[in-house]
């Protein structure tokens, strides 16, 4: 089983026990000295579905900065939540 750097649990009424999960890893080390950070690709799982999300630039707060390459449309989570989680993760790593 892989260890994921970013793990979020969320309420999901469509799932057993009303709990969903988001688990991803970035493809590059995130730190303030990484001059070639972008594009930054996150791969992992949203519940049981494999996902791939690409952050194209340093503006990690906006949905427009991301390509949701492989992301299930029928999940109860929306892009804005995922963007917020990734943004918080990156900012914590950059401190």
Spans of all domains in the chain: 6-94
Highest average pLDDT, of 1-10, 30-39, 44-53, comes from: 44-53
Strand order in the sheet with 49-55: 6-11, 19-26, 40-46, 49-55, 66-70
pLDDT digits over 48-62, tens only?
899 999 999 999 999
pLDDT band of residue 16 (cuts 50, 70, 90) is: confident
pLDDT, residue 1, reads: 53
Query: d(Cα 37, Cα 22) in Å, to the nearest integer?
Result: 22
Say yes or no to pLDDT of 18 above 60.
Answer: yes
Q: How far apart are CA 13 and CA 11, in angstroms?
A: 6
């Amino acid at each position: 089983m892989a260890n994921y750097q970013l793990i979020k649990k969320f309420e999901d009424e469509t799932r057993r026990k009303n709990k969903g999960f988001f688990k991803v890893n970035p493809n590059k080390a995130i730190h303030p000295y990484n001059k070639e950070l972008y594009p930054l690709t996150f791969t992992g799982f949203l519940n049981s579905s494999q996902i791939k999300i690409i952050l194209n630039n340093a503006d990690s707060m906006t949905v427009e900065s991301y390509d949701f390459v492989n992301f299930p449309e029928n999940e109860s989570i929306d892009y804005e939540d995922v963007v917020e989680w990734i943004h918080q993760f990156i900012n914590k790593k950059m401190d």
